[in-house]
A and B are shown apart, each in its own frame.
Chain A
Amino acid sequence: MGREGKEDGGEGAKLRNDVSPSVEAPVKKAISVTVNGVPYRHEVEPRLLLVYYLREVLGLTGTHIGCDTTSCGACTVIMNGLAVKSCTVLAVQAEGATILTVEGLAKDRTLHPIQEGFWEEHGLQCGFCTPGMMLTALQILERNPEPSEEEIRHGLDGNLCRCTGYQHIVNSIRYASRKIKEEGGTAIPETAGRERR
């Protein structure tokens, strides 16, 4: 047998070659975003997902890709004050947005209370889910500064951890809740933007 397609000549080969994408050359779009307080501007393909933009264009690899199907929450970032799964947001949808990733949590070499909580309460083992866990935790605490254990667990519905069994994560979030109250601050820093209503 020769190379595939040689034998059946014209017809078969032609059909295979005819499979062309519905859009030949998609028009790139310019986006401006502020991530962890730093403004960026890039031309991106419309199909680029926000998580790939953060990781591969900006080099912020703290945001993880876990399931890639909106289930595990490893890719959670805070966009305009709202925790979102960045594997299910197009980079072009983030045009004009203010975004906080795990890299933006610590300030002046001091851990954010949620990071301190995960440190003190052993809230991680392998650490893969941790960035998403911490950013989701901030959303929980922003809406409910002193959540019960049950409220924390309900809030973590969209974040999976395969190591800890969750108990230490819950403890870490309660630690952060106490610490934020002590310091009189807000859970979500200004650099995460604000919800637009």
Chain B
Amino acid sequence: MIPAAFDYHAPASVDEALRLLRSLPDAKLLAGGHSLLPMMKLRVVSPGHVIDIGRIQALCGVREDGRALVIGAMTTHWAIESSPLVRARAPLLAECASRIGDIQVRNVGTIGGSLVHADPAADYPAAVLAVEAEMTVVGAEGRRTIRARDFFTGVLSSAVRADEILTEIRVSALPPGTGQAYLKFPHPASGFAVVGVAAVVRLRGGRCEDARIGVTGVGPTAYRAEAVEKALVGTTLDDRTIAAAAEHAADGVEANEDLFATPDYRAHLARVFTKRAVRAALERAGRA
């Protein structure tokens, strides 16, 4: 399969990329290309211009900024999975990255590309929701921040506008006593999440002080399972409480349907994996 013809641009800076994005009609940003190129090969999209931002060094890598962890949008899944800094400061993101696709895909695909592509079965959305990451985007009117909650607006749609570029993902340090886990049921062929659940729980004096549950793969966009969170906070997180809370994992969500999983089966998997993810996070909270 060969993509339709296009002109290729490889800007050296974000400013140059923004200028190209404003001046070229029918342009698409290329990050690692592992979502865009398959779509171009199928001719689902045929942009006239491709702007390759994957080579912009300022967008690559992980750093600390005070108490926040800052991940450049063009950082690959492998770089995130293997970063000692991410593993120490936001282990959920490293665990999530390690479960994406396969070795070759993780070597090339980027967190920014994946987030903006906003595939309803992608892994990162659940994780950025659960760690309450903030996405920094730049555009003609300067810089703005989008909360994870406001980021995913629909199937393959994010809050990043066509003339903006996602530059970094910021994660605030989580207090001691916090446990985090990402568990997924991968599609046996594609590796995408039929269901993926990211859980963050914080214990204080034996009780759950905070719970954040991000769920991907189930609905048209990833979401926070607020009913589950409410049912967990204030409890001692015993097995019965977790099981009862997890029953609400797909409440109010119109679950996706495909050849592999019916809506009912997906909702069932969401409940099962929420229960398991909360338990795994709790176990790690005890050790944190």
Contact = CB atoms under 8 A, between A and B. Distances in A.
Interface of A: 21-23, 26-27, 29, 45-47, 49, 68-71, 73, 76, 82-85, 88-90, 92-93, 95, 136, 139-140, 155, 157-159, 197
Given A26-B7, A73-B102, A88-B38, 20 more contacts: A22-B46, A23-B6, A23-B7, A23-B48, A26-B6, A46-B6, A47-B5, A47-B40, A69-B41, A71-B190, A83-B103, A83-B104, A84-B108, A88-B34, A90-B37, A92-B8, A92-B52, A93-B30, A136-B103, A155-B103
Given A22-B46, A45-B5, A76 B104 contact: yes
Contacts of A155: 103
B172 to A, nearest CB: 25
Nearest to A160: B189
A46 B9 CA distance: 9
Given A46-B6, A90-B37, A92-B52, A22 B26 contact: yes
Nearest to A75: B104
A179 B162 CA distance: 52
A158 B105 contact: yes
B94 interface: no
B7 A158 contact: no
Nearest to B3: A47
B4 interface: yes
A100 B195 CA distance: 36
B81 to A, nearest CB: 10
Contacts of A76: 104
Most A CB contacts (10 A, CB to CB) among B4, B5, B191 go to: B5
Given A22-B46, A46-B50, A92-B52, A68 B104 contact: no
A158 B6 contact: no
Chain B interface main SS type: loop
Contacts of A73: 102, 104
Q: Interface size bucket, B side?
A: 35 or more
B78 interface: yes
B5 A84 contact: no
B259 interface: no
Contact of A95 (B1, B3, B6, B10): B10
Interface of B: 1-8, 10, 26, 30, 33-34, 37-38, 40-41, 46-50, 52, 54, 61, 78-79, 101-105, 107-108, 189-191
A2 B2 CA distance: 34
Listed from nearest, the 3 A-B pairs whose CB atoms lie closest are: A158-B102, A46-B8, A22-B48
20 contacts: A22-B46, A23-B7, A23-B49, A27-B8, A46-B6, A46-B8, A70-B34, A73-B104, A82-B78, A82-B107, A84-B108, A88-B33, A89-B33, A89-B108, A92-B52, A140-B103, A157-B103, A157-B191, A158-B103, A197-B61
A66 to B, nearest CB: 12
A55 B191 CA distance: 28
B41 A68 contact: yes
A139 B33 contact: no
B8 A29 contact: yes
Nearest to A46: B8
Nearest to A140: B103
B40 to A, nearest CB: 8
Given A23-B48, A70-B34, A70-B38, A46 B104 contact: no
A158 B104 contact: yes
Nearest to B34: A88
Nearest to A26: B5
Nearest to A76: B104
A49 B41 CA distance: 10
Given A22-B46, A92-B52, A85 B7 contact: no
A29 B7 CA distance: 9
Contacts of B38: 69-70, 88
Contact of A22 (B4, B8, B34, B40): B4
Nearest to A83: B104
Given A23-B5, A46-B8, A47-B3, A88 B37 contact: yes
Nearest to B37: A88
A70 B101 CA distance: 10
A19 to B, nearest CB: 12
B8 A157 contact: no
